[in-house]
């Protein structure tokens, strides 16, 4: 039976939002076409290196998810229940299971260097690269699920006897919650294995990477009901809904974009994901060269984007600078951003080359950045505020370049950049992006991924008609700041 919302009732939804450096469970309360969020639980996340390979602590993550959902249930008014739960995570990573749902292989982290040989091989085989891109619309990038799975199958061939299902991380957590194994479309579109012209898997890509087709079920669209929560008594009866499993897809859904399609979307966090919504993919030689990824929206349409390295640069540089470099409070973060903004803007010739593969997961991020600068005969920054200024200016140039490339390839004109995520809280990054792109940047005070996650739950529950209606209601009450471009 559909869940109806009236002015007298409140619908409660829980968003499980897992990022590569942190996770949270957020409780959403929807009443009178307004959404109120409560952070029930927040926790750090990181991968661990073991004998030269990188792995996620998947059991620890599941423990935190359960803890967060119990806290969300405890935060409800007396007599109220959580109607539904949705899970989104970062892209590409997966769990291999047997028929009983048991893990049969450790869960690797996407920054593991194990894919480098396959990355080089595909990159150096032009005909194969073009065929794979034409089939999937996804460029050759070190973290792709396709390369990860190919390496596992090649180096551990017995896995094809042990594993019977491949669930990507939101799929896996949905399974732990509901007992239903299903692959969701948006997370499937990050893999380089989905057919760019349909909503099913690409047989040519599966064959090239030697991935057994039987491991994957036909992807379901966002909004699919997977069952009810199992083994968490506090959430008995709550529906598990397949929201857009990729956190970027959720973040895009949350943005109150202009209906005329002239807004460019920027989800700024560990990665800067720059893209737009489209009824058709962006393909061809120019798109391949620009590394355009034709990921999907939960309804099956397209979300062409480029993946610009993001605040990962700052996170890892702070590690190199020592514990004192990282601010401990929000006030300290604000002061660091203000101090960095007072420094002169970085001149173009000394900006970081953010396309450098060496920035992906180096032992020392500072050493890679300093090496780039010295090759340009420039002096590295002396302190953390200097690195922050340099990094924000470099990312801003990357955002502007992505905008220009999309306009060139599609003939569209983007009149604004809408930004959500951690970077949206940095006036320095927002202003630098506006200056570089020469269009206004609109920053929303918005838990973007969690809001998009909850929006899709509300649509599935029929409390909201569709995404356009949700964006209209959300935008009417949303705090935003506009950064106008300056010379």
Quick: pLDDT tens for 192-236. 999 999 999 999 999 999 999 999 999 999 999 999 999 999 999
- The proportion of the chain whose per-residue pLDDT surpasses 90, expressed as a percent, equals 89
- Structure tokens given for 439: 């269009």
Read off φ and ψ for residue 360, nearest 5 degrees.
Answer: -60, -50
pLDDT tens per residue across span 102-120: 999 999 999 999 999 999 9
What are the φ/ψ torsions at residue 164 (nearest 5 degrees)? -125, -15
Give just the sign of the alpha carbon dihedral 429, 435, 437, 440: positive
Give the pLDDT of residue 1: 37
Residue 409: pLDDT band with limits 50, 70, 90? very high
**470 in Cβ contact with 455 (< 8 Å):** yes
pLDDT of residue 58: 97
In this prediction, residues 156-177 reach a mean pLDDT of: 98
Using DSSP's 3-state secondary structure scheme, residue 48 falls into: strand
| Res. 238 pLDDT band, cuts 50 70 90 | very high
Can you give the pLDDT at residue 357?
Answer: 86
pLDDT tens sequence across 58-78: 999 999 999 999 999 999 999
**372 vs 324: CA distance, rounded Å:** 25
Residue 320: name the closest of 391, 383, 394 by CA. Answer: 383
| Catalytic annotation, residues | 247
Q: What is the pLDDT of residue 207?
A: 98
Q: Is the pLDDT of residue 7 over 60?
A: no
CA distance 252 to 351: 28
Average pLDDT, integer, range 131-159: 97
Residue 5, pLDDT above cutoff 70 = no
Summarize the confidence of residues 388-415 as an average pLDDT: 96
Q: In whole angstroms, give the CA distance from residue 65 to residue 42.
A: 10
Task: Give the residue carrying structure tokens 């966090």.
Answer: 269
pLDDT at 447 exceeding the cut of 90 = no
Share of the chain above pLDDT 70, in %: 98
What confidence tens digit (pLDDT) does each residue in 335-349 have?
999 999 999 999 988
pLDDT of 3 higher than 80: no
pLDDT 10s digits, 466-478? 999 999 999 888 8
pLDDT at 8: 61
Q: Which stretch of DSSP H or E encloses residue 69?
A: helix 58-74
Distance CA 386, CA 343 (A): 8
Q: What is the DSSP letter of 234?
A: G
The predicted-structure confidence for 285-341, as pLDDT tens digits, reads as follows: 999 999 999 999 999 999 999 988 999 999 999 999 999 999 999 999 999 999 999
Rounded to 10 deg, the angle between the 116-123 and 126-136 helix axes is: 100
What's the rounded Cα separation, in Å, for the pair 27 and 447?
A: 12
Q: What is the DSSP string of 369-429?
A: HHHHHHHTT-PPPSSHHHHHHHHHHHHHHHHHHHHHHHHHHH-----EEEEESGGGG-HHH
Residue 367 has pLDDT above 50, yes or no: yes
Question: Directed axis angle between helix 467-475 and helix 448-460, to 10°?
Answer: 130
The dihedral sign for the CA sequence 270, 405, 245, 157: negative
């Amino acid at each position: 039976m559909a869940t109806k919302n009236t002015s007298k009732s409140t619908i409660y939804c829980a968003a499980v939002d897992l990022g590569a450096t942190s996770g949270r469970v957020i409780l959403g309360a929807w009443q009178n076409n307004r959404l109120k969020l409560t952070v029930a639980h927040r926790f750090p996340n990181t991968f661990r290196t073991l004998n030269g390979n990188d792995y996620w602590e998947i059991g620890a993550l599941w423990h935190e998810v359960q803890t967060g959902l119990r806290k969300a249930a405890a935060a409800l008014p007396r007599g109220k229940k959580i109607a539904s739960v949705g899970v989104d995570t970062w892209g590409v990573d997966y769990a291999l299971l047997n028929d009983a749902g048991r893990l049969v292989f450790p869960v690797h982290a996407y920054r593991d260097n194990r894919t480098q040989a396959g990355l080089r091989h595909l990159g150096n085989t032009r005909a194969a690269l073009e065929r794979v891109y034409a089939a999937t619309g996804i460029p050759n990038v070190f973290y792709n699920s396709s390369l990860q799975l190919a390496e596992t199958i090649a180096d551990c061939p017995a896995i094809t006897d042990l594993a019977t299902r491949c669930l990507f991380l939101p799929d896996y957590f949905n399974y732990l919650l509901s007992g239903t194994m299903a692959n969701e479309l948006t997370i499937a579109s990050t893999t380089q294995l989905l057919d760019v012209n349909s909503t099913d898997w690409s047989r040519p890509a599966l064959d090239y990477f030697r991935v057994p087709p039987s491991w994957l079920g036909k992807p379901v669209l966002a909004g699919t009901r997977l069952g009810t929560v199992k083994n968490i008594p506090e959430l008995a009866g709550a529906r598990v809904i397949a929201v857009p499993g990729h956190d970027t897809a959720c973040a895009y859904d949350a943005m109150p974009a202009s209906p005329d399609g002239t807004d460019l979307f920027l989800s700024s966090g560990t990665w800067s994901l720059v893209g737009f919504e489209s009824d058709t993919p962006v393909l061809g030689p120019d798109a391949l060269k620009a590394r355009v990824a034709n990921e999907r929206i939960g309804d099956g349409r397209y979300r062409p984007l480029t993946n610009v390295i993001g605040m990962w640069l700052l996170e890892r540089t702070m590690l190199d600078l020592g514990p004192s470099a990282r601010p401990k409070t929000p006030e300290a973060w604000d002061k660091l951003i203000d101090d960095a903004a007072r420094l002169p803007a970085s001149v173009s010739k000394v900006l970081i080359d953010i396309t450098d593969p060496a920035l992906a997961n180096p032992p020392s991020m500072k050493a890679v950045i300093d090496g780039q600068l010295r090759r340009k005969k420039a002096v590295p920054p002396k302190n953390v505020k200097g690195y922050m200024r340099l990094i924000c200016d470099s990312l801003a140039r990357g955002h502007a370049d992505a905008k220009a490339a999309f306009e060139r390839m599609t003939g569209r004109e983007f009149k604004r950049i809408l930004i959500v995520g951690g970077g949206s809280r940095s006036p320095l990054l927002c202003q630098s992006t506006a200056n570089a792109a020469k269009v206004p940047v609109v920053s929303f005070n918005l838990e973007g991924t969690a809001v998009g996650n909850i929006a899709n739950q509300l649509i599935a529950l029929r409390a909201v008609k569709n995404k356009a209606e949700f964006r209209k209601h959300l935008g009417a009450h949303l705090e935003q700041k506009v950064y106008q471009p300056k010379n």
